[in-house]
Amino acid sequence: MSDFDPNRRQLLKASTVAVGGVAVVSQLAPQAEAAVPKATAPTAPTTMSIRLKVNGIERQLNVDPRTTLLDALRDRLHLTGSKKGCDQGQCGACTVLIDGRRTTSCLTLAVMQEGHEVTTIEGLGTPNNLHPLQAAFIKHDGFQCGFCTPGQICSAVGMLDEMRAGAPSHVTGDLNAKVQASPLEFRERMSGNICRCGAYSNIQEAIAEVAGVKA
In DSSP terms, 54 is beta-bridged to: 57, 118
- pTM to 2 decimals? 0.78
**Residue 151 CB burial class (10 angstroms; 0-12, 13-18, ≥19):** buried
What domains can be seen in the chain, in order of their start residue?
Answer: 49-124 (3.10.20.30), 132-211 (1.10.150.120)
Per-block mean pLDDT, blocks of 10 residues, the chain (215 long): 55 53 52 62 80 97 96 97 96 98 98 97 95 97 96 98 95 92 96 96 97 86
Cα 91 to chain centroid distance, Å, stands at 10
**Alpha carbons 25 and 4: distance in angstroms, whole number:** 32
